[in-house]
A = this chain, B = another copy of it.
Amino acid sequence: MTASADRLAALRAELARRGVAGFLVPRADEHQGEYVPPSAERLAWLTGFTGSAGLAAVLPDRAAIFVDGRYTLQARDQVDSALYEQRHISDAPASAWIAQNLKSGEALGYDPRLHTLPEIDRYSAAAAKAGGTLRPLDSNPLDAVWKDRPAPPMAPVVPHELRFAGKSSADKRREIASALADDKIDAAVLTAPDSIAWLLNIRGGDVPYTPLPLSFALLRADGSVELFIDAAKLAPGTAAFLGNDVAVSPPARFGAALESLKGKRVLADPGSASAWVFDRLKTGGAAIHRAADPCLLPKACKNAAELDGTRAAHRRDGAALTRFLAWLSDAAPQGKLREIAVSDRLEELRSGGENFRGLSFPTISGAGSNGAIVHYRAAPETEKSLLPGTFYLVDSGAQYLDGTTDVTRTVAIGEPSAEMRDRFTRVLKGHIALATCKFPKGTTGSQLDALARHALWQVGLDFDHGTGHGVGSYLSVHEGPQRISKIGNSQPLLPGMIVSDEPGYYRAGAYGIRIENLVAVVPVENEAAERPLYGFETLTLAPIDRNAIEPALMTDEEINWLDSYHARVRDTLTPLVDTATAQWLATVTEPLA
């Protein structure tokens, strides 16, 4: 019997003891974030599947795992198909499987801390369709059978200095509390760790790639906060830094605190707070006000210090990436480089930089056809050599105390084909169209998305991912509420927001192209303007491979943009790199024409 089979059998026995027929195991933890600590890797422990999104549903005589298109192959490798049927999470969703497989009269259990209300509504309806019920469980039955479950993370929580944060926590709390008071809201429940980290100017290390302390908080309309966190996690001085208006309570107190809000008007975000939070508020008799997490928008709009910080971080990050690209240009033609060694080299160059605190996500290092796999992660059994006539795609970023970076470059190894040049140039045209566009106040990222796709669309090509995501300030590399995407989004782009500009093109089995810079929304002055006008300031600094460009496809304005971007890259980075890199940089940033 395999480990997976043992675990599944143990879980089923525990479910039988508790009188429920089945159980739902999501990948999410109590904070609904992108990364979870080892103690919350329940889906991986149970099924073996280590992807960043998925759900298992367990019934007495069958079980299924639901993953999205990115993870179809990975799940097939990692999950025992004798134990779990595999389904596409949106084409054949769990709700349909539940409706079909739960038996009349049976109860399907779930841990209400791990699901949002909209999920629970869907699964409840599915269970009802089957004549069964969905039942919240007081404690997680999987945790009961996971004998060697790691302890919750205890990474030290440290202050995030004012010179990086740009605004004191007291000022942030005062402003948000005043907005809550205006809306006659007594308190807001905060369950997103990056919102809490931003509000209190603290950082931690409980999950990979993002400096988050996992915690919950209650922000009251008087500006005071109750922070639910193990006090042992606070590094010396952090409690004093938090001050008298931030009370620290044990995490176990959170439920009781929610239940104590009888008659109060309490804000909770149905997009991120768990069903358990809403249950506790309801039980306690609070008047629930469903609305977006009040930290979301102010966190997204970076202040002057954060923007200065990210500019500095991007200079260091650009210098490291440029040293890497210079090295690659020298080493790659011999055809001996492989994906993992190459990305290790990039990490090594970055890690020497001032304020460096780690990568901001696992590097995507894809040679040849691996570059066409959008969420590729190199492994010894999949990695390829960088060979002449191919593209090498590297999407990477780092966490610095003063900013978070995320950049993609696609490098021609040897001579690309005419088709590859054509596609690269169309992706670049899309990148430039977005980078240079100006737009009136009120415009959303969804409205701008077509600009980045237009050059591809003209010949019947496109790419199947968003064009841009928000980026935090020494926080999550993916943050909302703004985004640039085909999918409608009602959040206007506002000054200070950082977003990625990353159109791509992927030819399955052949090559992948993506050109990604981070940009910040900035006000634009124009005498004729009748409306407040915004545009983008490009933050990322690294050369774009001129060898992959077909100049005949570029307009004069596009060539001007590229040449002046390259001049800026050269002027800014030359003092920051070694002589050999500087010489290489001088060559690759020469004007295109």
Contact = CB atoms under 8 A, between A and B. Distances in A.
Interface of A: 437-440, 443, 446-451, 454, 457-462, 486, 488, 490, 524, 526, 528-531, 533, 555
Given A450-B447, A454-B451, A528 B437 contact: no
Contact of A459 (B457, B462, B486, B528): B528
Contacts of A437: 454, 457-458
Contacts of A555: 555
Contacts of A448: 450
A460 B490 contact: no
Contacts of A531: 460-462
Given A450-B447, A462-B531, A457 B438 contact: yes
A137 B21 CA distance: 52
A537 B440 CA distance: 30
A450 B484 CA distance: 13
A141 B329 CA distance: 83
Contacts of A460: 438, 440, 524, 526, 528-531, 533
Nearest to A422: B528
Contacts of A439: 450, 457
Contact of A450 (B451, B461, B462, B488): B451
Q: Give how many copies assemble into the complex.
A: 2
13 contacts: A439-B457, A440-B462, A446-B488, A447-B449, A447-B450, A448-B450, A450-B450, A451-B451, A451-B454, A459-B526, A460-B526, A460-B533, A488-B490
Contacts of A462: 440, 530-531
Contacts of A449: 447
A533 B454 CA distance: 12
A450 B440 CA distance: 11
Contacts of A440: 457, 460, 462
A459 B438 CA distance: 8
A459 B529 contact: yes
A454 B440 CA distance: 10
Contacts of A490: 488
A449 B451 CA distance: 10
A550 to B, nearest CB: 14
A503 to B, nearest CB: 14
Residue with the highest number of chain B CB atoms closer than 10 Å, among A439, A451, A460: A460
A533 B457 CA distance: 8
A420 to B, nearest CB: 13
A458 B437 CA distance: 7
A298 B60 CA distance: 46
A460 B439 CA distance: 7
A33 to B, nearest CB: 27
A103 B573 CA distance: 70
B450 A438 contact: no
A438 B458 CA distance: 5
A494 B457 CA distance: 16
A256 to B, nearest CB: 34
Nearest to A528: B459
A528 B486 CA distance: 22
Contacts of A529: 459-461
A530 B464 CA distance: 12
Residue with the highest number of chain B CB atoms closer than 10 Å, among A457, A458, A529: A457
Nearest to A419: B528
A533 B461 CA distance: 9
A488 B491 CA distance: 12
Contacts of A486: 447
Q: Which 9 pairs across A and B sit closest by C-beta, in order of nearness?
A: A460-B529, A488-B488, A460-B533, A460-B526, A459-B528, A447-B450, A440-B462, A439-B457, A438-B458
A489 to B, nearest CB: 9
A493 B588 CA distance: 43
A448 B531 CA distance: 21
